[in-house]
Each structure stands twice: as structure tokens, then as C-alpha cells.
Amino acid sequence: MMLHRFVEPAVRSALTRMGVSADHPIALETPRNAGQGDLASTVAMSLAKTLGKAPKVIAEEICTELRSAPYIQHVDVAGPGFINVTFDRSVYHVVLAELLQQADGIGRSSIGVGSRVNVEYVSANPTGPLHAGHGRNCAVGDTIANLYAWCGFNVTREYYFNNAGNQMNKLAESIDARLHQHLGADVEFPEDGYHGEYITLIAQHVADAHGSAVLDLPEVERRDLCKKAGEQWCFATIRATLEKLTIHHDVYFNEDSLYTDGKVQQVIDTLRGNGLAYEKDGALWFALEQLGNPQDKVIVKSSGEPTYRLPDIAYHCDKLERGFDVVVDIFGADHIATIPDVVAGVRAMGLDETKIRTVIHQMVTFIEDGEVVKFSKRSGTSFTLDDLIEEVGADVVRFFFIMRAVGTHLEFDLNLAKEEGDKNPVFYLQYAHARIASILRKAAEQGLQVSDAVDLSVLVHDKEIALIDVLSRYGGTIERACVNLEPQAVAEYLREVAAAYHHFYHDCRILGTEEPLQSARLALALVTQRALRNGLQIVGVSAPDVM
């Protein structure tokens, strides 16, 4: 936080004099209540035991040092030993001037410079369109990738395209069956096949492309044709949906490449060589118990086909071998069980599994008119992500899916989402942005421009200071959201920024005010607009100039 640096050096110096080691953290927080200063520290209380002194005594000693530090108006000790710092108002002018100079870079951080991170998200099987629930993975993953990028990391956004498993054969069988039906042949639809309307659509494409002669092809060849057509259609459909949410992946990693490259075989060989894989009942087992996990698991079925675990391990090894410093997986709660196995596998392969970070988001429930929406009851077939975007718009989809902590179950209120008024939290943020845009337009028409040389010292109103205070926490908030993988912290912060601006707007007239106050307020509005625009960009929501 930007204000910390006006306090930390003096506190550190006082602590050093008391013989406290330099790595002792200096806890600083923004007091919740009025009358407790602008910044408070609990460091005196945390040191009471080690120093063997009363917290108030320690606090007093620190205060002596602090009182002579620049920009500090007064310091006092309160309660059990809180150190409450009140800044001279000029500190806020210094901070705002810096924020103004950062221009469009406000909120950026450099903590990740020099590090490469891979964020894998969406990764839905290419066996059909994305359903509405997939939206959470999409939004959370893309926001986390954005956060890394804003913190200076070199980010690769990756989609693990699961095109080698058994489910692709089921897709091919389903399409083949519809193909026969479409061409007038009588066949039974596979019991566990995919029933969506899109299967019929893909079958029609195959029929159109190859004519009825396709039925005369050998089954293997025809199935392959169906599989390819299905994969292509699903891939294109999924990408089109992601496009609507402004999500673009850098790498689409094909699962089948793990077989053609020999990566899967390499895992088998290494595990065997280390005595971590053994044959039983005709299958190959991964000796997870030896690695401390609850039970051994099959990695190659007796049919010779691998289970998903094997390519998953090979895939994660591949990501680490590509040299990423951090490998992030975004998973739904239904995938929790697979993670320990993969991590154990990566470690068994001799790679650093601590670079892997997993984000597990809980499930989503859609509510409409007070009732739970059944996925299967929408549009006759299923409630797709496209349907959801169609109903509430891409901005609302992205924001609603990240506005709650990933670890909690999300209730997606469709009525609230569709509301285009004051109840909808997305509009509250966008409205603040549009309001500022409007003022800046009018200012420009009058020939007013914000320059870095503007005199900010005239900003002394409570609401002005409060807004600057919120803005000063921008960088730190983004860093924390990134390090902790908490997208909702951005949503929460943006609400604070918008609220602080609306309060300021209500009390402080900008245009038509005497100079230099008009210019100073204009500068404050400009910085706020940049903060909102950047924050909205991080969560993938548009920042309209007009509403």
C-alpha cells in the first residue's frame, strides 16, 4: 500500500534500536472507525512478549520516532497498544500525484517480472457446447490470468483439449448413430451416448459433406470421420462462446499429442523403473500408497487403454518441463479427487510439484423466480453458456462468476442478473465510469485538460481524501488478489472505488468550480476513471463511456 512507506521506515528504525530483528513484520492496517487515525499498527502488541515490556511502553517508544517523520501530523497510542497515525493532508496529494503520473498503468505491479506462469482453464471436453456452469471456470481462470499479467508475469493461457479418451469414442458413436438415422438407416442409439441436438447437427454436416456413400465405409473409417467432425464442431463452438466472453487462449494443448510424443510412455517407463508401477489383474497400477496417498490407482486398464490419470500426469510434467515457474490449474469441485494423484505423479517423475497451484471453485446454482433452474430444462435440451450470455450479457456473466470467493457455492440469481437497473452490481461500477467519462467530455469541450503539473494541494474535502485513500490501495489490492488467487477481491475493491467516487461526486462539484480546485478535482476524476477501467478490464467487463 502506498501509504505504508511513510510509516514503515520510522517504525523499523525504532524497532532496530530496541533490538528487534529486521524481518519482524510491521503490521499496518486501515482503521475501521473514525478517530483512529489514517493508518494503524499493532506491532507493539505483537512484540510485548518477546521484548518483555508492556505494549503501551513499546508503542510510546515507536511513537517518539514516528512523530519526527515527514508527512505525519500526529501519532497516538490507543487501547491496548494500537499506534494510530494521522497523516498531514499533503501526503494524499503526493500519492495522488504519483497515481496521476502512472497514467494508464495504474494498478500494475512488477512482482512477477521475470517469472513465467501457465494458467490452464476451461479445458472442457470437446464433446458438446459449454454449459452455463462452465462459466465460472472461464471467468475465474481468465481473471486470474489477467491478474498475473497485471503483476508483471509472463502469462500463458492454456486449454487442455481432452481429445484422446473414451468420451471421444462415445461422441463418434453418437454421431454415427444420428448419421444412420439421418440417412434413413435403422440403428440403435448407444445407451450412454450424447443426446444433445448438436449431435444431429454434426451428423447432418457429415452427411452433407460425404453423401449417403458414407454408410458404405468401413466402421472404423466412418467412426473416425464422425470423431473428427465432432471434435471440429465442438472446438469451434466452444471457441465462439469464449470469444463472446473475450477469452482467448494462447495454447490449445491436445491430449493426443502426449501419446504421439511418447510422453505418456515415458511416465510409464519411469514409474516402472522406480518400482512405483506394477501389474495386477491385467492392469497397470500406480503405487500411490508408497507415496503416502490413500490408495493405489489403475493407470492402464486391462484393455490396454490408459485412465485419465496417466495423461494428466504426463501433461503436468510437460508444463513443468516447458520451464514455467508457476503452473496454475483451475478446477471445479468435482475434480478435487484427481489432484493429489497428479501431484504425486509429478513428484515421482522427479519434478518440482510445489510449482503447481490449484484453484478449486465450488459448484454454481442458477436461481430464477426463487427456484433452482435445472440444467436440462432450458431450451428443450440443456442450459448452455451461450444461453446464459444471451440472457444476461457477457459483462454480467463475467462479473457474477467472479464476485464471490471461489471456495463458496455460488448462487447465480438470473432475475438480478437481468435487471438493468440500480440493483445490478455490474452497472454500479460501469455507471461510475460513464459518469466520469461524461464530465471529461464536457471538460474537453471547454478546452480543459489535466496536466501532471496540476496543483493538488487544494483537495482537502473529506470525500476527496477518502477517494484518494481508496485509490492508494489499488496496487496492493491487485497484488494480494494475484498472490492469493482471489478474483473476488478485485470485484470488492472496485465496488469501493465506485462508491468513494459517487460520494465525492455527490458532495464536490467539479465543472464550474473556481481554479485551481476545478483542475485538481478533474485530475482526481481522471485517476478514478483509469482505476475503474483497468479493474474492469482485469475482470473482463467493459467500461462504457455512455450509459
Partner RNA sequence: GCGCCCAUAGCUCAGCUGGAUAGAGCAGCAGCCUUCUAAGCUGUAGGUCGCAGGUUCGAAUCCUGCUGGGCGCGCCA
CB of 290 to RNA, least distance (A): 17
283 lies in the site for RNA, by CB under 7 A: yes
CB of 212 to RNA, least distance (A): 32
Q: Among residues 292 and 421, whose Cβ is nearest to RNA? A: 421
| Three-class secondary structure of residue 200 per DSSP | helix
Question: 17, 272, 280, 374: which one contacts RNA (CB under 7 A)?
Answer: 280
Assign 3-class secondary structure to 285-349. Answer: EECHHHHCCCCCEEEECCCCCECCHHHHHHHHHHHHHCCCCEEEEEEEHHHCCHHHHHHHHHHHC
Query: Residues 360-399 vs RNA: string with x where CB under 7 A?
Result: x-xx------------------------------------
DSSP string of 428-471, one letter each residue = HHHHHHHHHHHHHHHHHHTT----TT---TT--SHHHHHHHHHH
Asked if residue 364 lies in contact with residue 133, where contact means CB atoms within 8 angstroms, the answer is: yes
State the pairing for strand pair 39-41/82-87.
antiparallel
Question: 243, 334, 352, 515: which one contacts RNA (CB under 7 A)?
Answer: 334
What sign does the CA torsion over 389, 107, 142, 252 have? positive
CA-to-CA distance for 176 and 24, rounded, in angstroms? 67
CB of 470 to RNA, least distance (A): 13
Question: 292, 337, 369, 452: which one contacts RNA (CB under 7 A)?
Answer: 337
Question: 103, 336, 372, 444: which one contacts RNA (CB under 7 A)?
Answer: 336
> For residues 231-260, which are near RNA according to CB under 7 A?
none
67 lies in the site for RNA, by CB under 7 A: no
CA-to-CA distance for 31 and 445, rounded, in angstroms? 41
Q: Among residues 210 and 413, whose Cβ is nearest to RNA? A: 413
Q: Among residues 83 and 155, whose Cβ is nearest to RNA? A: 83
Q: Among residues 153 and 161, whose Cβ is nearest to RNA? A: 161
My answer on whether omega of the bond before 25 falls inside 30° of 0, hence cis, is no
CB of 411 to RNA, least distance (A): 3
> For residues 130-159, which are near RNA according to CB under 7 A?
none
> For residues 18-37, which are near RNA according to CB under 7 A?
25, 27-33, 35-37
Asked if residue 129 lies in contact with residue 385, where contact means CB atoms within 8 angstroms, the answer is: yes
CB of 213 to RNA, least distance (A): 32
Size of the site for RNA (CB under 7 A): 96
C-alpha cell at 117: 506462469
C-alpha cell at 148: 498475473
CA-to-CA distance for 59 and 55, rounded, in angstroms? 6
CA-to-CA distance for 160 and 125, rounded, in angstroms? 9
Which contacts (CB < 8 Å, 24+ apart) does range 243-246 have?
244/386, 244/389, 244/394, 245/135, 245/138, 245/139, 245/142, 245/389, 245/394, 245/397, 245/398, 245/540, 246/142, 246/394, 246/540
CB of 166 to RNA, least distance (A): 5
Q: Segment near RNA (CB under 7 A), from 67-75, 265-273, 427-435, 446-454?
A: 427-435
Q: Cβ–Cβ contacts within 10 Å for residue 307, how many?
A: 18
| Three-class secondary structure of residue 68 per DSSP | coil
Q: Among residues 33 and 68, whose Cβ is nearest to RNA? A: 33
CB of 135 to RNA, least distance (A): 15
Q: Among residues 261 and 334, whose Cβ is nearest to RNA? A: 334
CB-based burial label for 490 (10 Å; 0-12, 13-18, 19+) = buried
CB of 95 to RNA, least distance (A): 17
Residue in the block written with cell 498531514: 88
CB of 543 to RNA, least distance (A): 11
335 lies in the site for RNA, by CB under 7 A: yes
> For residues 187-226, which are near RNA according to CB under 7 A?
none
CA-to-CA distance for 534 and 540, rounded, in angstroms? 10
CB of 545 to RNA, least distance (A): 6
**365, 367, 357, 363: which is closest to 407 by C-alpha?**
363
Q: Segment near RNA (CB under 7 A), from 95-103, 162-170, 227-235, 270-278?
A: 162-170
Question: 137, 162, 241, 384: which one contacts RNA (CB under 7 A)?
Answer: 162
| Residue 112 DSSP one-character state | T
Q: Among residues 180 and 319, whose Cβ is nearest to RNA? A: 319
CB of 345 to RNA, least distance (A): 14
Query: Residues 510-529 vs RNA: string with x where CB under 7 A?
Result: xxx-----------------
CB of 421 to RNA, least distance (A): 5
CB of 182 to RNA, least distance (A): 27
> For residues 291-320, which are near RNA according to CB under 7 A?
294, 297-298, 301-303, 305-308
CB of 388 to RNA, least distance (A): 17
82 lies in the site for RNA, by CB under 7 A: yes
Q: Among residues 36 and 90, whose Cβ is nearest to RNA? A: 36
Q: Among residues 351 and 437, whose Cβ is nearest to RNA? A: 437
Q: What value does the CA radius of gyration of the chain take, rounded to a whole number of Å? A: 29
Q: Among residues 236 and 333, whose Cβ is nearest to RNA? A: 333
Question: 95, 427, 494, 540: which one contacts RNA (CB under 7 A)?
Answer: 427
**405, 401, 373: which is closest to 389 by C-alpha?**
401
C-alpha cell at 207: 452427411
Question: 67, 183, 499, 542: which one contacts RNA (CB under 7 A)?
Answer: 499
The continuous run of DSSP H or E covering 136 comes out as helix 134-150
